[in-house]
Homo-oligomer: A and B are copies of this chain.
Amino acid sequence: MTVTQIETTWQGVTLSELGQAARNHGMQLEGLRYDVTPLGMHYLVIHFDIPAADEASWTVQVDGLVDRPLTLSVDDLRSRPAVTRPVTMECAGNGRALMPPRAESQPWLLEAVGNSEWTGTALSPILEEAGLGAEAVALVFTGADHGIQGDVEQDYQWGFSLADIVRDDVLLAYELNGAPLPPQHGYPVRLLVPGWYGMCCVKWLRRITAVAEPFEGFQMGSYQLRQDPDGPGEYVTRQAVRALMVPPGFTDFPGRNRFLDAGPCRLIGRAWSGWGHIDRVEVGADGGWADAELGPKPDSPSSWRAWSFDWQAAPGEHELAVRATDESGNTQPLDPPWNYGGFMNNAVQRVRVLVR
């Protein structure tokens, strides 16, 4: 969809959607200029409320089908080997408001992403210490945020098959950019699953339970790619390949249209994928595409990769676009792939620019 098509198909945001948008927030796209997203700029979604939490009395239970149930304090977690890594996190609903007709939820445009440095301890050794029972096939992570959705009162939960979660890079994280997690990001401890969408990185983590059946909790039923509300759908898991750019030039208020002086203009941004390293980024100007220059390959594919492109801005109106391809061969669609929940919209970003 072009910018004009987005504008002409726009549906007004409801009071309930604004109730979400007023408290949750995206990363201002200027934030793409920082390799590590500064604290407070990283996107934020809180499903229910931010729980009151005290690190001193907080515990994480490891229970269910384990040989040795554990009760871990935050001090216990901090006394284990610490790992710090930049991880690109994105909301599965990023781009929802650009997929009409949209589900009533957080009405994201493009900004629900961030790449901060998370510090924590690896999950795997904790599972080894607890000893997963032979009949265990899945792990359920339960957070302290409590609420009602679809008439179901619940603590927020996400589940994984052992194959998906028993990985070296999964952390129980207690720091963000070198400081204790702020309350809104899961203080004092949250799950971090690099490469997957943010909804599975359970915040305010209280419990890890080994179970004998694949877990099908409420949230997992909600985060599926469906063509109708009741139909079956694939689970949302890994991040689809995506690139974003810092909109060039300057803006107006409140429209956020872009204005630029004619001449050379260096476009910059970041690209990421849950399916491997970024191999290629192309920039589209007025319909034609050309390769962008890629920044250094990050140590891990779970951290975004910088790109840049030197554009010659000629007077007039232009539409810029950016499209990434990952090493698995996935690339971004030109138009959003619609689904009922408004998930995984990785259609190319389009920015209209008026050059003077």
Contacts and interface: CB of A to CB of B under 8 A. Distances in A.
Interface of A: 6-7, 10-26, 28-31, 33-34, 38-42, 44, 46-50, 52, 97, 104-111, 146-149, 179, 182-185, 250-256, 259
A53 B308 CA distance: 19
A48 B250 contact: yes
A19 B25 CA distance: 11
Contacts of A50: 28, 30-31
A134 to B, nearest CB: 37
Contact of A253 (B29, B149, B179): B149
A108 B15 CA distance: 11
B23 A28 contact: yes
29 contacts: A6-B15, A12-B14, A18-B97, A18-B107, A18-B109, A19-B254, A19-B255, A20-B256, A23-B28, A24-B25, A25-B25, A25-B44, A28-B46, A30-B50, A31-B50, A33-B52, A38-B183, A38-B184, A40-B42, A40-B44, A40-B182, A41-B182, A41-B183, A47-B253, A48-B250, A48-B253, A105-B253, A147-B251, A148-B252
Nearest to A34: B183
